[in-house]
Structure 1
Amino acid sequence: MTLPRPTTDQPHYGQHLGDVGYWGAYVRTALDRSDLSATEVEAPFVGTFPTFLAGDVVVKLFGETFDGAACFATELAMAELLTGEPGIPAPGLVASGRLFDDDDHWSWPYLIMERLHSVPIRDARSAPSVPAAAAELGAVITRLHRLPIPALIAARDPLPGLRAAAPERLRGFGLPDHLVEQVPEFLADASAERVLVHADLTADHVFVDDHGLAGIIDWADAIPADPWYELVATRFDAFAGDPRPFSIMLDAAGWTRGPDFPRRALQGVLEFQFNAITAITELVELPRIATLDDLADALFG
């Protein structure tokens, strides 16, 4: 049977993103091509791309939308890089391929990765193993930032564009106007350093078990960025604003917290591609914050 080409038209794509009934045949086709099988296909959390659990593996399909070509290439490059880095617990690459061979249309590339038999930290924030996981995550971040940046990833530097567009992006996220007006000057001396960052260490991507950190998934957003960029998702998503595991992570990473730490950390927030402002509003009353320096001290001082 010839598979019909999946559609990424909205609202269909969003409505069926986690639909095993719709995507099951595509997942099984990818598995068959690698001589793999699964008695059951399951949907974990719904992300950007169709991703499904199948026995001991995870199958991730990349559509053309949401910059699918770059995301596939980045995640594949990171999987190949991390294969030789046992100190960074990432799922191993099992196979990669394409659902369709027609060069005139989107080929729907896919990755098959090892499955982590553990839970995302979102579901285990009160677990006794979280402090150990935070410490191990800090050590992993240090190792990651010391790795050579794969050429494909190094070829693009998104930070200048993210910094230039920061005022309007942050306004859209809900940062008050009087703080938005201060953003360009605040970012004027942002770090020029570039290291390899995961860039999206959220509560859905950091996995823990009874002993500590079990693994980190979803490397498709990896970019060259300054180290401060990495702190945003951990502080406000993975650790849900709790300063205790965040502090443990920083200590384990050997992160120097000198006088400029709050300012540098907030620069990471302001240049960050995704919305951290909504989470920050749960921690501080932004309309009462007069300056970005005050906000930096409130969040990171």
Structure 2
Amino acid sequence: MDEVEVIVAHSERATLRVGEVFVKVDGHLTRHAAEVRAMDLASIPTPEVLWHEPPALARAAVPGTALGVLGAPSEASPASWSAAGRVIRRLHEAPLPPMPGRPLAGVEAELERESEWLLAHSPLPAEVVQRNREIARGALRPWRPAFIHGDLQITHVFVEDDEVTGIIDWSEGAPGDAMFDLAILTLGQEERLEDLLAGYGTDVDREAIRAWWSLRCLTAARWLFEHGFDPDAPGCEYAVLRARMREEA
């Protein structure tokens, strides 16, 4: 029997690996059902579901390697990023899934609430939070809903020989803003945006992507802190917020 490897663990969920099987345990008993449904509906490569018995979901390992790791420059080739762009475009053009998306008013309320928390509790200078808050409001515009992954981190996209072999972790799959997916994938990897768009297509709202970079970092920081992660680690959320302010100065 292979050893059990803990991939990620916090108070909401945990993911374990045993050989070529990944087992996710989630305290939210309906979230796995939504994830399986999203993978069934997606028109792109996804992991094989081996079994689902709440609160656990087992899936097969995806071949290849992730586009990169959080907090470090991606070593994947431009061709791999372009391949990711093509696959994500297919997803965004697929029929909308039946799951509810996040309402714009809810996103706006979260931005304001989390920005106030950062002003009161984070080591970031107030001007960094306030400037990013202004930038983030650029994402708060009406969007044409697309089928989005919803948590398209760089660690969730696997490639091999410059082709996408699978995209994992679909618990946030729902109708939403396509620019959000593109922003999450390039968060902390902003220099790879053009490689991604070489495959996705350049008919995108770059300002909205940049706004989502700021919005994501502002709204994710407290959750990371409360679940044992460090948003101030090199290359992570606070670093992105500082960089965004310098770029927009």
TM-score (norm 1): 0.63
Residue among 76, 82, 91 paired with 2:47: 91
Alignment of 1:91-240 (within 5 A): 91-98=47-54, 109-122=55-68, 127=75, 129-151=76-98, 153=99, 155-171=100-116, 172=118, 174=124, 176-179=128-131, 182=134, 186=138, 190-236=141-187, 240=188
- How many Å separate the matches in 2 of 1:160 and 1:217? 28
| Bigger Rg, structure 1 or 2 | 1
Contact 1:186–1:267 at 8 Å: present in 2 too?
yes
- How many Å separate the matches in 2 of 1:181 and 1:242? 19
- How many Å separate the matches in 2 of 1:181 and 1:207? 32
- How many Å separate the matches in 2 of 1:279 and 1:89? 32
- How many Å separate the matches in 2 of 1:165 and 1:126? 30
Contact 2:84–2:163 at 8 Å: present in 1 too?
no
Residue among 237, 241, 248 paired with 2:189: 241
Moved >4 Å (runs of 4+):
123-127, 183-188
Residue among 1, 20, 23 paired with 1:59: 23
Deviation at 1:281, TM superposition (A): 3.8
Normalized per residue, the structure richer in strand is 2
Instruction: Answer 1 or 2: higher relative contact order, Cα 8 Å, separation at least 6.
Output: 2
- How many Å separate the matches in 2 of 1:45 and 1:159? 32
Matched, 1:45 2:1: no
Contact 1:166–1:183 at 8 Å: present in 2 too?
no
Report the more deviating stretch, 172-181 or 245-254: 172-181
- How many Å separate the matches in 2 of 1:140 and 1:120? 15
Letter paired with 2:36: L
SS at match of 1:283: helix
Where does structure 1 lack aligned partners over 5 or more consecutive residues?
1-38, 99-108, 296-301
What do the CA deviations read for 1:10-41 (whole angstroms, capped 9, x no partner)?
Answer: xxxxxxxxxxxxxxxxxxxxxxxxxxxxx224
Where does structure 2 lack aligned partners over 5 or more consecutive residues?
222-235
Contact 1:94–1:113 at 8 Å: present in 2 too?
yes
Deviation at 1:119, TM superposition (A): 2.6
TM-score (norm 2): 0.74
